[in-house]
Chain A
Amino acid sequence: MNKYYLGIDLGSTTSKAVIIDENDQIIGRGITNTRANYKVAADIAREEAIYDARFTLLSNIIKTDMEAKPEFKKYMEDIRTVFQYQQFKRRMEILEEKLVKTSEAFPYPNKNEIIDRLKSILNVIRPQIRHEFVHGGLGSKNQFFRDIVSERYNLEVAKAGKEFYEPLMLAFDKSITPVENEMVQYNFKELILESMKVLEEKYKGLADEQEDGSKEDWYYAELNAVRNNYKNVELSLREHFELVAEQEIHIANMVGTGYGRALLPFPEECIKSEILCHAFGAHAVFPNTRTVLDIGGQDTKAIQVDSHGLVTSFHMNDRCAAGCGRYLGYIADEFGISLNELGPEAMSATKETTICSTCTVFAGAEVKELIHNGEERPNILAGLHKAIVQRAMSLIARSGGVKNEFTFTGGVARNQAVLKYVKQMVTESYGEVTMNIHTDSIFMGALGGAMFARRNVTAALPA
Chain B
Amino acid sequence: MTEHIVVVGGGTGGTVLANRLAEKLGPEIERGDARVTLVSDDPDHVYKPTFLYVPFGKKTVEDAKRPLADLVDRAVDIEIDRVTGIDTDGKRLSLRDGGSMAYDQLALALGAQLVPEELPGLAEGGHHFYGPDGADALRDEMAEFTEGHLVLSVIGTPHMCPAAPVEFVLMADAWFRERGLREDVEITYTYPIQRAHAIQNVADWASEAFEERNINVETFFNADEVDPEEGVLHSMEGTELDYDLLVGIPPHAGSDLVTEAGLGDDGWADVDKHTLESEHAEDVYVLGDLADVPTSKAGSVAHYEAGAVADRIASRTRGQTPTATYDGKTVCFIESGMDEATFVDFEYGTQPTVREPSKPVHWAKLGYNESYWLTARGLL
A and B assemble together: no
User: B-side interface residues toward A, CB under 8 Å?
Assistant: none
List the interface of chain A (C-beta within 8 A of B). none
